């Protein structure tokens, strides 16, 4: 999602709610940014509702805004969130994640 599209979403949500432009912009940029980062870093597919819940909780923590406000803003921007989700879900996954390191043995030779 480019800056022009984010600005369109911010304008739409600001006009549709009683929240200030700066508040809406911070919420949307945080939510869209995390959604994009998650798509780039993960090879796992998520259902839309689970992903929206994760993005909502992440945005609430990162912005410090109250949950009802964040949920309303993200819900109002649902069209753009869906577009980002659709775009990212059709993008081929990146390189596979490296395997977890094997457990280390302790001094007695017993597995940990």
Q: Give the mean pLDDT per block of 10 residues along the chain (112 residues).
A: 87 93 96 84 78 92 96 89 73 51 50 47
Question: Considering only CA atoms, which of 58, 86, 91, 97 is closest in space to residue 74?
Answer: 58
What pLDDT is stored for residue 80 in this prediction? 81
- pLDDT the model gives residue 11: 94
Residue 3: the pLDDT is 86
Asked whether residue 100 is domain-assigned, the answer is: no
So what's the pLDDT on residue 93? 52
Q: Give the per-residue pLDDT at 91.
A: 57
pLDDT value for 5:
87
According to the 3-state scheme, what is the secondary structure of the chain? CCHHHHHHHHHHHHHHCCCCHHHHHHHHHHHHHHHHHHHHHCCCCCCHHHHHHHHHHHHHHHHCCCHHHHHHHHHHCHHHHHHHHHHHHHCCCCCCCCCCCCCCECCCCCEC
Q: How far apart are CA 31 and CA 112, in angstroms?
A: 39
In a domain, 107, yes or no: no
pTM for this prediction: 0.72
Domains in the chain, number: 1
**Domain assignment present for 110:** no
Mapped to the 3 state alphabet, what secondary structure does 2-15 carry?
Answer: CHHHHHHHHHHHHH
Please check whether residue 96 lies inside any domain of the structure. Answer: no
Position 19 scores a pLDDT of: 95
Q: Please give the residue range of the domain that contains residue 11.
A: 3-90
Q: What is the pLDDT of residue 89?
A: 66
In a domain, 7, yes or no: yes
């Amino acid at each position: 999602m480019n800056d022009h599209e984010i600005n369109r979403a911010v304008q739409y949500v600001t006009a549709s709610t009683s929240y200030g432009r700066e508040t809406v912009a911070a919420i949307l940029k945080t939510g869209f940014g995390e959604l994009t980062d998650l798509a780039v870093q993960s090879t796992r597919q998520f259902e839309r509702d689970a992903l929206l819940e994760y993005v909502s909780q992440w945005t609430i923590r990162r912005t410090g805004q109250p949950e009802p406000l964040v949920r309303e803003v993200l819900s109002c921007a649902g069209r753009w969130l869906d577009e980002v989700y659709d775009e990212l879900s059709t993008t081929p996954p990146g390189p596979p994640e490296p395997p977890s390191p094997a457990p280390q043995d302790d001094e007695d030779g017993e597995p940990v």
